[in-house]
Amino acid sequence: MHLTGQENMNESENFISAEVLAERTLDSLLAEHPGELTRTGCPHVVCTVLPTHWRSNKTLPIAFKVVALGDVMDGTIVTIRAGNDENYCGELRNCTAVMKNQ
């Protein structure tokens, strides 16, 4: 004999929360591109990894990419900001781009 309370409890255990689903999606994306992409402060955005010995006054050797995991319409203007422990908001050149290929 099944108790209805136990059935409802088992059904609720099978549902995945949105946060867990987003985390799994992000983990699988990072696993597909090891060493290429890294997490950011926003859970729905990843970006390319900076070189380990990159001098701050030099241009990057590769194109810097930002990948939005959520819905962002094509044509949306995106501004990048970066910082570290010493400089919370560093000076960036060419830090604005238009979102495409969403």
Q: Give, for all 102 residues of the chain, the pLDDT tens digit.
A: 555 555 554 555 566 776 776 677 777 777 887 778 888 887 778 888 877 776 766 777 778 888 887 788 889 998 888 777 787 777 788 889 888 876
φ and ψ of 97, to 5 deg: -145, 170
Q: Whole-model pTM above 0.75?
A: no
Domain with residue 91: its CATH number is 2.60.40.720
Domain containing 42 equals 4-98
Q: Which residues contact 56 (CB under 8 A, 6 or more apart)?
A: 90
Nearest to 10 by CA among 2, 22, 1: 2
pLDDT at 102: 62
pLDDT at 3: 54
Number of domains in the chain: 1
pLDDT at 54: 67
